[in-house]
Amino acid sequence: MTIRLGIQIPNFSYGTGVPELFPTVIAQAQEAEAAGADAVFVMDHLYQLPSLGAPEEPMLEAYTALGALANATQRVQLGTLVTGNTYRNPALLAKEITTLDVISQGRAILGIGTGWFELEHDSLGYEFGTFTDRFNKLHEALDIILPMLKGERVTVDGTYYRTSEAFANPRFRDHIPLMIGGTGEKKTIPLAAKHFDHLNLVCGFDELARKIQVKNEQCEQIGRDPSELETSMLVFGLIDENITEDFIPSDVKQRAVWGGAEQIADQLKTKVLDAGVDGVILSPVTHLDGYHPGRITAVTEAVRPLLGG
């Protein structure tokens, strides 16, 4: 698994009617692929997030959308950034991700996290609980998901989940790359070091160097080469050469880049790559003025030379 540059599709509010909504999603994914991105991600949410719009704004179910994108692309890896564990039975999630891997001919990524959007849970009837509850659920879910992805039969009688000889067939690969999102130094990063291929850091630029240090320390404590756990940062991108820093809300400046393609490339180098992070997952902000073909291409062409490999 190598993700030096990924593109996340964070919203589906394009100013078009519903008939043109998914063709626009396909256009974004195909542009990212043609430009040389390594992966395309969608969010695993059922309502839109507060930072991007009202809950009622369009939001597609992630794995249904990814299955369709698998048929519209040929090379890019596909996944969620990241799946909320609380939204699905873990055995069903294992079946969904192995199915996506078959449909895409081995391009699926399993991104997973604890789940955090309380409004979705309350509105749709999912138990939210405390972060400790959700983390413990994730830990137990992995006891089911990881063996199923390898082709094993899994029996679990746990606190949250139960399975009896659960298995997933067909499978395309014996190992589907695993990504976790978060930055918790006591729980999330140690879990990433133990089980995952990729750690997506969701934090401010000023925290990155510290998180990379903790990641390296946690890997070394268990005898793992730190370079085996890839890292990336999820960064919001306002791709418009007319946008200046004054336009950026203060609460997102530590996670956003802006301006033309070269400006964005320079910011990503100094703020992310120079901190020791392996790659970038760029989330182009399109809910303000729709999808503009060519912007993803321009940024990708400017950023790729900085990434190596």
255 pLDDT higher than 70: yes
Contact 172, 102 (CB under 8 A): yes
pLDDT value of residue 1: 62
Q: Which residues contact 224 (CB under 8 A, 6 or more apart)?
A: 193
The structure tokens listed for 152 are 């094993």
**For 134-141, what is the mean pLDDT?**
95
R_g of the chain, CA atoms, integer Å? 19
CA distance 178 to 47: 25
CA distance 57 to 47: 7
pLDDT value of residue 61: 97
DSSP 86: G
Contact 58, 25 (CB under 8 A): no
236 pLDDT higher than 70: yes
Mean pLDDT of the chain: 94
Q: Read off the pLDDT of residues 193-219 as tens digits, 9 standing for 90 and up.
A: 999 999 999 899 999 999 999 999 999
Q: Is 149 helix (H, G, I), strand (E, B) or coil?
A: helix
Q: Read off the pLDDT of residues 68-108 as tens digits, 9 standing for 90 and up.
A: 999 999 999 999 999 999 999 999 999 999 999 999 999 99
The CATH number for 5-123+177-307, chosen from 3.40.1280.10, 3.30.70.360, 3.90.870.10, 3.20.20.30, is: 3.20.20.30
Contacts of the segment 202-205: beta carbons below 8 A, 24+ positions apart: 202/233, 202/234, 203/233, 203/255, 204/254, 204/255, 205/233, 205/254, 205/255, 205/271, 205/272, 205/275
Q: Where are the domains of the chain?
A: 5-123+177-307
Q: Read off the pLDDT of residues 212-228 as tens digits, 9 standing for 90 and up.
A: 999 999 999 999 999 99
40 pLDDT higher than 90: yes
Q: How far is CA 199 from CA 91, 126, 303, in A?
A: 23, 26, 20
Q: Kindly give the interhelix angle for 188-195 and 131-149, rounded to the nearest 10 degrees.
A: 10
Q: Report which of 222, 219, 181 is spatially closest to residue 198, judged by C-alpha positions.
A: 181
Local confidence band at 263 (pLDDT 50, 70, 90 cut-offs): very high
pLDDT value of residue 309: 54
